[in-house]
Amino acid sequence: MKTAKENVMKIEVFEPAMCCPTGVCGPNVDPILPRFAADVDWIKSRGVAIERYNLSQQPAPFATNAAVKAEIAKRGVECLPLIVVGGKIVSRGKYPGRDQLAKLAGLKAVAAAKEIAVKKSKSDGGCCDEAKGCC
C-alpha cells in the first residue's frame, strides 16, 4: 500500500448544487451520498488528498478549472459530479465507489465491509441463551 507521501495526485470532486457540503441533509437524501461521504473519509484516512466542491457553495473552483468549465458548457450541469485526477476528468455523472476511489488514488482496492452479526449474551442485557440460541 502506498503512503500519503507517495500519493502525488489530488482527487477533486465537482458536485451539483446541494444544500450542504456533503448533500447528507434534509428530508430527501440521495442514498448514494452517505456512502460516498464515508468513502471520502476512508480515502482521506489513507493519506489521499481529496477535495469536494459544491456548485452552490463553492462556485469559484468550477469557474477557475478550465476542464470543468468546458465540460459544463458542453454538457450542462447534468454531467456533475465530475471526478478530476491530476487535472483530467476521469468520471462524469456518477459517484465512484470505494474501490474506484482507491484505484484513482493508486491504492490497493479494499473490499467493502461486510455486515457482522452481533450476538448479545444475557449478561449484557441481550436475549441470547446458549441452550436455545438467540431470539
Helix (H, G, I), strand (E, B) or coil at 100: helix
**For residue 69, is pLDDT > 60?**
yes
User: Mean of the pLDDT values across residues 38-56?
Assistant: 93
pLDDT of residue 63: 95
Q: 0.75 cut: is pTM over it?
A: no
- Output the CA torsion 17→69→103→1 (10° steps): -90
* Domain map (residue ranges) of the chain: 9-124
CATH level 3 topology of 9-124: Glutaredoxin (3.40.30)
- Counting residues of the chain whose pLDDT is more than 70, the rounded percentage is 66
Angle, CA of 65, 85 and 29, to the nearest 5°: 85
User: Mean of the pLDDT values across residues 5-34?
Assistant: 74
